[in-house]
Each structure stands twice: as structure tokens, then as C-alpha cells.
């Protein structure tokens, strides 16, 4: 079964990451790289998104489209990327998600094949 793990940053996480030294930041990237290596057999697709300020949002209102700059939802949590994994069930998806070393919020959602 396919699941999507969506990784979300908080404002505090972004501040803490920005305050890291270059060596600390590289260590964090290395840890994420190891996570991808450890789960490569389950990952079918992954994407790292550009920052939220680069987003464009389209809302369909009364039969026409309104386009604005910025993310869909203003909030303190911003989705920064996702992976699609192939696992047996939700329990296995949770095992994979629990080992994610970066963003503090992970939404796990079943996906159609």
C-alpha cells in the first residue's frame, strides 16, 4: 500500500536550523541522507519543496480563478517536502515515519496507487 509522508516545519524548527553552524547543518543533512538510504527500498518518490514564499495559490471562486502569491494557508507549520513509500500497512508507515530525523511534524496519508 502507498502512503505519503508530508514533512512540516515549525517556525521554531526553522529558527533553530538557521542558527546552526555550518558543521551542525551539514550533520543534519547527513542524517537526512542516511534516512533516505536506510529506507530506499520503500521510497517510490520524494520531493523537497522550495520555501513557502515561492508558492502561488489559485482559488476557484464563483466560477473563476483567483491567483495570489504565497502559500495556500497562512500558518505556523509549512510543508517542506514529502516522500511516497510502499509498505504493507499503516503500522509499517508509522515505523518509517518515527525515524525521520528532521522536520518535527509528519502527516501520514494513504495514497491511491
Q: In the prediction, which pLDDT does 88 show?
A: 97
Q: Which residues of the chain fall below pLDDT 70?
A: 71-75
Domain with 80 in it: 2-111
Fill in the DSSP letter of residue 62: T
How many domains is the chain built from?
A: 1
pTM, full prediction: 0.83
- What CATH number is given to the structural domain containing 82? 3.30.70.1060
Q: In the prediction, which pLDDT does 73 show?
A: 60
CA 16 – CA 25 distance, rounded (Å): 10
Q: In the prediction, which pLDDT does 75 show?
A: 66
Query: If we measure between CA atoms, which residue out of 91, 79, 86 comes closest to residue 111?
Result: 86
The three three-digit cell numbers of residue 111, written as one number = 495514497
Q: In terms of DSSP H, where are the helices of 1-113?
A: 11-18, 22-38, 90-98
Residues paired with 79 in a beta bridge = 8
Amino acid at each position: 500500500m502507498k502512503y505519503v509522508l508530508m514533512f512540516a516545519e515549525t517556525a521554531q524548527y526553522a529558527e533553530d536550523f538557521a542558527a546552526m553552524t555550518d558543521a551542525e547543518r551539514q550533520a543534519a543533512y547527513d542524517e537526512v541522507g542516511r534516512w533516505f538510504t536506510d529506507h530506499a527500498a520503500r521510497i517510490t518518490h520524494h520531493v523537497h519543496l522550495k520555501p513557502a514564499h515561492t508558492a502561488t495559490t489559485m482559488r476557484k471562486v464563483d466560477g473563476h480563478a483567483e491567483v495570489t502569491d504565497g502559500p495556500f494557508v497562512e500558518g505556523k507549520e509549512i510543508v517542506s517536502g514529502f516522500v511516497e513509500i510502499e509498505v504493507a500497512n499503516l503500522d509499517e508507515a508509522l515505523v518509517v515515519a518515527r525515524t525521520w530525523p528532521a522536520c518535527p511534524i509528519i502527516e501520514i496519508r494513504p495514497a491511491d496507487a
